[in-house]
Amino acid sequence: MALTVLQVAYPLAPVSADAVGGAEQILAWLDHGLVERGHRSLVIACEGSTVAGELRTIPAETGVLDEAARQRAQARMREAIRDVLDRHPVDLVHLHGVDAMAYLPPPGVPALLTLHLPPNWYPDLLWRLERPDTWLVPVSETQARACPGGTAALLPPVLNGVPVEAFGRVTRRRPVAAALGRICPEKGFEHALGAATLARMPLLLAGQVYAYEAHRRYFDDVLRPRLVRPHRWLGPLGFRAKRHLLSLAQCVAVPSLCDETSSLVAIEAMACGTPVVAFPRGALPEVVTEGVTGFLVPDVDCMAEAMQGARFIDPDACRAAARARFGLDAMVEGYLARYRTALRSRRDGADRSRAMAG
């Protein structure tokens, strides 16, 4: 049975396969997979988004992303959701924003919320939701274990997936390290720069500095002074440029200081046959297999050693791991299974209510 799914993005970041944010990329790939399978995918996201399904945009914030901007965007999202639900027979709403509680639709249609970020980043109210037919989906076993106990609405995880075959590989790598992602303090990119300096290896840093005050200050005060030769700042990269960078690097550094719920960068690197050197935060030990697809290290000195040792990792083992565990088809089918669970639960509840009434 074909479904009509309303995908709701985080309102302050555009959705596309070229997006920097992992949640925005996952939404784009999921939207593509739903359309490819004959389902109807409606997407609400800010201007600048590109999707395979039917897109309804809200205005993008162009200034500083402060609390006022967040509240404006959330109000627009609430209005857009009401309008889409009034106009279209939606089977299920799938939300992706960390602030989704601010625009959760009223009871009626089943809703799923993917937990793209660490559980302690979400408001406490999320874990004791009173809205019926509302489900939470983690993206790793590690993240699921970190969710508060007794959360009845928690479904089994759906691992993040990427189009593994779309990531290329090169036969001749360069002796450089790469790091990429959102430029913000919790990503710890200064540690990757420090490790690359110790390893006498250039670090190529790519990413997006969003207009949050803390993010801009982190880039200007912490990273910019360290981005001197031989290191280079590349700025935001689209899919093709990112694929090229991941393919040519000897390793990809993931020096996160937060508990990563997954790591799309690590998965994409492995899809290119490129080993990952990471701090073992959150789900990274679940993603990176020590000595097979990369190294998990405790500090900057060990990261420097691992950057040099990454040249001995077998690229084919990295690609095989990505294909086996993080394929896009598995992710899309996983979400379709969660959709069916939510819809079946709603039907069963309605049947019980009718039986009690009769």
Instruction: Show the tokens assigned to 224.
Output: 């910019």
Q: Output the pLDDT for position 207.
A: 97
Residue with tokens 């996160």: 256
Domain boundaries, the chain: 4-161+327-356, 164-324
Residue 355 pLDDT > 60: no
Average of per-residue pLDDT values in the chain: 94
Please state, in angstroms and rounded to a whole number, the distance separating the CA atoms of residues 296 and 253: 10
Residue 354 pLDDT > 50: no
pTM: 0.94
Residue 358 pLDDT > 60: no
Average pLDDT over residues 145-174: 87
Equal fold, 4-161+327-356 vs 164-324: yes
Q: Give per-residue pLDDT as tens, 66-124.
A: 999 999 999 999 999 999 999 999 999 999 999 999 999 999 999 999 999 999 999 99
∠ CA 189-192-198 to the nearest 5 degrees?
Answer: 145
Q: Output the pLDDT for position 345.
A: 83
Residue 351 pLDDT > 60: no
Q: Place 1 in a pLDDT band, splitting at 50, 70 and 90.
A: confident
Q: Place 150 in a pLDDT band, splitting at 50, 70 and 90.
A: confident
Q: Output the pLDDT for position 152.
A: 72
Please state, in angstroms and rounded to a whole number, the distance separating the CA atoms of residues 71 and 181: 25
First to last CA, the chain: 29
Residue 357 pLDDT > 50: no
Over the Cα atoms of the chain, what is R_g?
Answer: 21
Please state, in angstroms and rounded to a whole number, the distance separating the CA atoms of residues 105 and 221: 40
Nearest-10 crossing angle of helices 264-271, 22-36: 60
Write down how long the chain is: 358
* Secondary element (H or E) of residue 240: helix 239-248
9-13, 148-152, 210-214, 248-252: which has the minimum mean pLDDT?
148-152
Q: Give per-residue pLDDT as tens, 192-241.
A: 999 999 999 999 999 999 999 999 999 999 999 999 999 999 999 999 99
Q: Output the pLDDT for position 38.
A: 98
Average pLDDT over residues 328-341: 97
Given phi > 0 = left and psi -120 to 50 = alpha, else beta, which region is 140? beta
Q: Output the pLDDT for position 347.
A: 62
Average pLDDT over residues 291-303: 98
> CATH top-level class for 164-324?
alpha beta
Question: CATH for 4-161+327-356?
Answer: 3.40.50.2000
Q: Place 139 in a pLDDT band, splitting at 50, 70 and 90.
A: very high
